[in-house]
Structure 1
Amino acid sequence: MAVPKYYELFNPLLQALRELGGSASIPEQEEAVARLLSLSEDDVNEIHRGNRTKFGYKLGWARTYLKRYGLLENSDRGVWALTEDGTSVDRVVPEEVVRMVQQQGRVAREELAEAEAEQETPEMVAELRWQDAALQALREMAPDAFERLCQRLLRESGFIQVEVTGRSGDGGIDGKGVVKLGGILSFHVSFQCKRYQGSVSSGAIRDFRGAMVGRADKGLFITTGTFTRDARAEAQRDGAPPLDMIDGDELVVMLKDLRLGIDVRSRTVEEVSVNREWFQKI
């Protein structure tokens, strides 16, 4: 089936969160909702804009409406959870949610029309603009420069002895490093970093795993693109060494947090109010 409209995702999203224990990250939500709706790989991976899929975009709108309706809440760490009201609701009437949110003034009529036309609101455009710009800058980098950036990223994240190999015939391994936990336990990590425009397939994950088995304790795949649902499943397949994955959206957020190539300037907002009593007493 094709990806439903954003308001048709309200109930599948609520069901998915209940099945996931009342809270979930965005990737967990997407996986659960896609499974509930029996969406195909093509449905899930169809690109809407930049690095964002149509499915992820519409599910994002579903989260926004359910949050404004009072059924969802989210933390700064990107985890979404059912509110107390959300846990007590089995199903909602999508038209009622849209109507009530609009009537309460939480979403302007123009914003609703943009959502239905699959256009971003000014707020979403502002949020996506820097991410799209960062991804474009990454994709324009030379391959060896991107490998050095990943090396710097891992060092800033606490890795030591990070080396870029990038040798041809090395099975896709671009580098290696060591991560130390608590100053006691060390794990050797092989990483692959690829500037993909589209989605990384499960085949690429299998090839990478085959190259790093016996040479490292863990594997890390970094891409400017996305990972297909099958690729994510393959990375965590039972009986095989698990691989960690960083997609383009996660990569640019990490760069922003570490201030690597992304400048963040805080703005001070002046709040002004008029003291009418002061004028009356003067």
Structure 2
Amino acid sequence: MAVPKYNEFMKPLLVCLSDGETHKSKEIQQNLAEYFHLTDEDRQELLPGSGQLVYKNRIGWASTYLKKAGLISSPARSIMQITDTGRQVVRENPLAIDGHYLSKFDSFRAFSSPKPASSSQSDIVSNPPCDLATPETPEEQLKQDYEMVLSKLSDDLYEKVMTLSPEKFELLVIDLIRAVGYGYPDESSFRHTGKTGDGGVDGIVQEDKFGFNLIYIQCSFSR
């Protein structure tokens, strides 16, 4: 099966702690992996770009939210224990425990609500609230938002480039080659040669001071 969303870990995690004893995080992770019948493949799934195991990351966020609601505590590093409030929730046996359920607790509302910017941060937007409507962790939300912004930026850039004249496009290519580190560090080492009868060469980059090593640029531009 796929790795459950972080909110789906909340109730089973709380039940795992319902004996009132202290438990190591690794023990809880193992118990929850077995409870959800996670395969070896599920347990090896990594968060893109972070190297963290997805199921451990989501259990971590589930425990963070439960702590913020006052349902569990952490008496020592990597140690979890249920609180009296948490035991009461287990006795009530709600159908599910998620962000909306946790919002009934004052401490969680204080955590998930927007934080006012300090006077020294008057130009900075206040901290956004937790999105209780999504099953994604904050890290996963951030990645999705980043990919969305990157996609829009790519589309906007493409549209902008497609409005350039062939000559300006050639100049843009030369600027890009300069930006990635090619050429001798002198403005004169980059020449735009694109014109009628240029033999297909639109630019020349001089790689050394004396011009012994040259890079010839040919641009292809079509709409």
Give the TM-score band, short-chain normalised: 0.3 to 0.5
TM-score by length of 2: 0.46
Using CA pairs under 8 Å that are at least 6 residues apart, name the structure with larger relative contact order, 1 or 2: 2
TM-score by length of 1: 0.37
